[in-house]
Structure 1
Amino acid sequence: MTSLPIRLGLTMWSHNQWQQSFYGSGTKPAERLEKYTQVFHTVEGNTTFYATPNNHTVRNWHAASHDNFKFTFKLPQAITHQQMLKGCQAQLKDFMHVMAPLHERIGQWTIQLPAAFSPADLPTLQKFCALFPPNFPLGVEVRHLGFFAKNDDEKRFNQWLMESGIDRIIIDSRPLFSAEPNNAEIIDAQKKKPRVPVHAISTSHNPMIRFIGHPEVDANLEFFAPWLSKLPQWIEQGKQPYLMVHTPDNVLAPELALALYQQLQQQCALPNLSTFPVNDGDNQLAMF
């Protein structure tokens, strides 16, 4: 797995409703990360956005993963949202110290910024990113529409990302917002997820797409069609894209990720994903 053309992942590794469809019925919660890493190559680290884990938890994550797996943890919201990247050097240092056992398994540290963070705040972002060593794997997700205006502000932002080797995280929420708001999960997701234009630009080596899907797996294929040409193009250029797959409740996120990956396999040479752990168990039982 050391030379994967693309890394496929989900927004989480632990979901109670994956017990029968993905992990296998006997899987304990503490075993879920290890089983997840048997199939997927990366994961969004949303948990660190809400709270910094303790040292014991971080060591457990290290023990349950492997060297070819990459986490993409989000910086804490206390830094990105509450302090808007200002006056937070001590907090950042403390967070990075706690996460130190996993540093070699980080594909990207995600700086997710609130919609209030505008192009006028770019100098703050630049100053904040200067706190990291050169070539540190950073990705920035912006939500203010000023960063999508195709004007000098966006050009200035993209140019700085390219010069700094920082990836611009791409949100594709079109499938989600095409869904009828006919249940609580869809309504909640449509309230919380950003609805921003899709600018398919790669500013560094690991462009990340957060594909926020429709609850019906097949309904996503039309929306994914443009990525069937863009992702192979990036791979051909020597980049290693990250594809993160969501659904409103994430119950069928593993199945959607597999379906999209199989579509990509028809366009470029990609290794097969490992079988879902639940099916590995079925195959073993069938031998007896």
Structure 2
Amino acid sequence: MRLHVGCAMWTLRSWQGRFLAHPLPSHERLRHYAGWCDAVEGNTTFYATPTRDTVASWAQQTDPDFRFVVKLPKVVTHERRLTDVDEALHGFLDAIEPLGPRAHALWIQLPGSFTPSDVPTLARFLRRLPTTHRYAVEVRHPAFFTDQRATHLLEGVLSDANAEWIPFDTTAFFRTPPTSDAERDAWTKKPRMPLRTHALTDRPIVRYLGRDATEQTVEGWQHWIDVVAAWLREGRSPTVFVHTPDNADAPALARQFHDEVRARVPGLAPLPEPIPVEPLTLF
């Protein structure tokens, strides 16, 4: 049994000297992050398709069972809304090819303006995708969560393509008003998504947003401990990404989440051991 956990990125300034050695060349940071977590969100590919050489360096720094959930470029999902995207999509697929099995799922994040009436466009897009990859879709229009017909429509299209529905759980974050600059910034930017805990495939993916306060983050993920433990007992292999507004402690929190699930499911494989980090010094 495997539960993969990770963060929204593999390097952050506040991690230097804590989770990642400092100083550390940029081409070594992913390798050090992979000692803490065995999955990562590929958010940077949303803004620009990387070169094959860059992607090859990501593969070289990680084991074959490390999981990248790689976001499709915004030109495909947001600007052209899944139509007339062959050139951009083929360029993206070619660029990520060096990841090999590490490309756990290609992440199709759709804008809040993508409504249930647009689902036929998604269905056509999914049917044209190569079967060499797994796909996972994140939607942000409220009707997909509150309108049963819209929910069933999307679930049917995803099931036909053996694609997963990625929930972004922000319920714990929006439970109480923000108390820090990072939380106030996230308050204006993060979507207020209803809770969804239903998996469509054997490899569910969850994005969870907590608070800057660790105790609130841990309290907010307790229902996910139950859900993920149940998925594992059913033979599923989930991936969970832990976010907080400042992400300062995200790698440690991801490992804590894994520890809490492992306490429920003792047969769960352990995470890798982190690469030791020497404390920062003034001289």
Instruction: Please report how far the alpha carbon of residue 218 of structure 1 lies from its aligned counterpart in structure 2 after TM superposition.
Output: 1.4
Instruction: Please report how far the alpha carbon of residue 81 of structure 1 lies from its aligned counterpart in structure 2 after TM superposition.
Output: 0.6
* Count of residues in correspondence between the two structures: 278
Cα root mean square deviation, aligned: 1.7
**Match status 1:81 vs 2:78:** yes
Mapped to 1, the partners of 2:132 and 2:97 lie a distance apart of 17
**Match status 1:14 vs 2:16:** no
Query: Structure 1: which 4+ aligned runs deviate by more than 6 Å?
Result: none
**Match status 1:103 vs 2:100:** yes
Mapped to 2, the partners of 1:209 and 1:125 lie a distance apart of 21
Contact 1:179-1:215 within 8 A present in 2 as well: no
Q: Residues 17-32 of structure 1: matches in 2 within 5 Å?
A: 17-32=14-29
- The verdict on how the C-alpha distance between 1:136 and 1:273 changes in structure 2, with shifts beyond 3 A counting, is closer
Larger relative contact order (Cα-Cα within 8 Å, sequence gap ≥ 6): 2
Q: Residues 149-168 of structure 1: matches in 2 within 5 Å?
A: 149-168=146-165
**Aligned residue among 272, 275, 279 for 1:274:** 272
Instruction: Please report how far the alpha carbon of residue 221 of structure 1 lies from its aligned counterpart in structure 2 after TM superposition.
Output: 2.1
Q: Residues 1-288 of structure 1: matches in 2 within 5 Å?
A: 4-134=1-131, 136-269=133-266, 270-279=268-277
Mapped to 1, the partners of 2:176 and 2:53 lie a distance apart of 41
Matched AA of 1:84: R
- Which structure 1 residue ranges, 5 or more long, are not aligned? 283-288
Contact 1:114-1:142 within 8 A present in 2 as well: yes
Instruction: Please report how far the alpha carbon of residue 179 of structure 1 lies from its aligned counterpart in structure 2 after TM superposition.
Output: 4.7
Instruction: Please report how far the alpha carbon of residue 167 of structure 1 lies from its aligned counterpart in structure 2 after TM superposition.
Output: 0.5
Identity of aligned residues (%): 32
Mapped to 2, the partners of 1:232 and 1:9 lie a distance apart of 17
Matched AA of 2:269: P
| Corresponding residue SS for 1:20 | coil
Which has the larger helix fraction?
A: 1
Mapped to 1, the partners of 2:52 and 2:2 lie a distance apart of 32
- TM-score, length basis structure 2: 0.93
Mapped to 2, the partners of 1:233 and 1:135 lie a distance apart of 28
- Which structure 2 residue ranges, 5 or more long, are not aligned? none
Contact 1:206-1:242 within 8 A present in 2 as well: yes
| Corresponding residue SS for 2:104 | coil
Matched AA of 2:7: L
Mapped to 2, the partners of 1:50 and 1:126 lie a distance apart of 24
Mapped to 2, the partners of 1:138 and 1:72 lie a distance apart of 9
